[in-house]
Every structure is written in structure tokens, then in C-alpha cells.
Amino acid sequence: MSSKITKRQELENALLNKGWEKDRFGHFKRSINNITKRFKMGKISCRYERLVNINNKNEWLNMSSKTLYYKNFKLNKQGLLFFS
């Protein structure tokens, strides 16, 4: 009996292959040039966020105005992520 990989699992695998690290909460983080970004994973969708300092407190800021549903996730031929 074979199990089909879910879109969420496919996204998680792609993020890991691109150097993102899974944290203890199941979200994926990556820092480039002192800018920390993350994919906050939910049940049916995720949020793309950036860590910013607001009034001397670190906060996660949503970087996308649309909801990123796993069902809309795709990889192109170069292995880059995008949501349709």
C-alpha cells in the first residue's frame, strides 16, 4: 500500500532542499544577510513572514497579502517555489 505525498509535504521537502530549517513549532526559518524569514505552517495554508523590530520588540510581519494555500503550491523546472 503506497501513500500519496500531500502538497504540504511537497512544500516542506522543497523548503528543506532549499536550506530552510524546521523549528520546534513546525515552521520553516531562514536567515539571509541578517534578514530572517519564515513560512508559518497552518492546517491548509501557510504565511510568508519576515522578522522585524517594532518598538524594540521582535515581531513577525506577513509578507504576502494573499493566503498561500498548499493546494496552489507549485515548483517550476528550476525548483523555485511559487503559489498560483
Question: Can you give the pTM of this predicted structure?
Answer: 0.84
What would the mean pLDDT of 12-23 be, rounded to a whole number? Answer: 93
Residue 35 burial by Cβ neighbours in a 10 Å radius (0-12, 13-18, 19+): exposed
Q: What is the SS3 assignment for 12?
A: helix
Between 48 and 79, the higher pLDDT residue: 48
What is the residue type of 74? K
pLDDT tens per residue across span 33-60 = 999 999 999 999 999 999 999 999 999 9
Residue partners of 20: CB distance under 8 A and separation at least 6: 28, 29, 30, 39
What is the residue type of 61? L
